[in-house]
Structure 1
């Protein structure tokens, strides 16, 4: 049996309105869903990305734990979006246009990428596998 593809990613944010604006600018699209979850435990805003992937922003009704996101703690390290090597220069310019700090294009034997962070310091990347 083949392992299933990734259906969606959901990240918890501190300021849903600010993060929604930030991701809408990054994705170049508005969310397709913005609602309180049925149980009332969280609110989610969801973006539909190319290839059928969904990307969600969550806020929770329970108290926030202390500390900002840190990929060195157990849990999420980063989220990478697949691009081609030819797309990396375009995404570098797009991040510059949006005023989003980034690493510039970094190359390794396993591929090339651009690292950047969202308003909650969540690590994101545009990643191009080797050709």
Structure 2
């Protein structure tokens, strides 16, 4: 069996593409690397490090409804932090941007910092245990 490949991108469907682009631009502190209307959907893509891309998709026929991780599908997207100090840097960054979060939660398997985007999609910054 070949080695399982790394994840190259995650694409999130959003209800208000311009609002989400602005929010992620603030969070990531970077500009999108792609902004393209394909016809069936419009997508905006950010390079978020390590060769990973984060895409935001806006559909003209989007179905309303709030994200709920208890529904089948996506639970959350977690971003790697090297250590607890880097995680604390993200906590400070979120505080500086007035982005609500759940604070850093420590567990035996690592530490996480959870937040929600404008569509209530669950995001997390995660550091392995030290």
Asked whether the two chains share a fold, i.e. TM above 0.5, the reply is yes
What's the CA shift for 1:67? 1.9
Q: How many residues align?
A: 128
Query: Aligned partners of 1:29 and 1:66: how far apart in 2?
Result: 28
Please state whether the residue corresponding to 2:114 is helix, strand or coil.
strand
Query: Aligned partners of 1:66 and 1:54: how far apart in 2?
Result: 25
Task: Verify: 1:31 aligned to 2:32, yes or no.
Answer: yes
Q: Partner of 2:5 in structure 1?
A: 4
Q: Partner of 1:69 in structure 2?
A: 67
Task: Tell me the TM-score normalised to structure 2 length.
Answer: 0.95
Q: Partner of 2:90 in structure 1?
A: 91
Query: Aligned partners of 1:24 and 1:114: how far apart in 2?
Result: 19
CA contact (8 A) 2:15 2:64 kept: no
Please state whether the residue corresponding to 2:104 is helix, strand or coil.
strand
Q: Partner of 1:82 in structure 2?
A: 80
> Any gaps of 5 or more consecutive residues in structure 2?
none
Written as runs of structure 1 = structure 2, the 5 A alignment for 1:34-53 is: 34-37=35-38, 40-53=39-52
What's the CA shift for 1:118? 0.2
What's the CA shift for 1:90? 1.0
Query: Aligned partners of 1:35 and 1:2: how far apart in 2?
Result: 32
Task: Verify: 1:114 aligned to 2:113, yes or no.
Answer: yes
CA RMSD of superposed structures (Å):
0.9
